[in-house]
């Protein structure tokens, strides 16, 4: 019983210290771009990297624009998880095909 209580108290402490960032280290909630594009390969029943494009300089490499947690690339099961993190953006356009899902988001001011 003591182990269960310790685990239940430890898990919330870990989750409060987790901040998702783009590859430049900017917190997702602090991105200051009017529009951003969030994209994810369409793979069923498998977590994949989600890329975020807010106009930063292009670099080469696989998944270079992947969302990061504690400076490590993070895989998501759904693009909706990322849209929920970006609560200061509204969905403008949602586009998907056989290979990928792309979402155009527009910045909104919160009162």
Contact (Cβ atoms closer than 8 angstroms) between residue 66 and residue 50: yes
Total-model pTM: 0.72
pLDDT of residue 105: 93
Q: pLDDT tens across 8-35, in order?
A: 554 544 444 468 988 888 888 888 889 9
CA–CA gap between residue 37 and residue 35 (Å, rounded): 7
Residue 15: phi, psi to the nearest 5?
-70, -25
Query: Which DSSP category does 75 fall into?
Result: E
pLDDT of residue 104: 95
Q: What is the β-pairing status of strands 100-107 and 35-41?
A: antiparallel
- Report CA Rg, the chain: 16
**Token representation of residue 40:** 């994810």
SS3 state at 73: strand
């Amino acid at each position: 019983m003591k182990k269960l209580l310790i685990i239940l108290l430890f898990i919330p402490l870990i989750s409060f210290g987790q901040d998702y960032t783009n590859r430049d280290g900017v917190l997702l909630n602090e991105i200051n771009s009017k529009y951003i594009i969030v994209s994810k390969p369409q793979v069923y029943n498998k977590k994949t990297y989600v890329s975020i494009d807010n106009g930063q300089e292009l670099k080469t490499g696989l998944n270079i624009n992947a969302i990061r947690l504690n400076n490590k690339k993070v895989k998501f099961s759904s693009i909706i998880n990322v849209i929920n993190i970006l609560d200061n953006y509204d969905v403008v356009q949602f586009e998907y095909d056989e290979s990928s899902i792309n979402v155009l988001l527009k910045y909104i001011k919160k009162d």
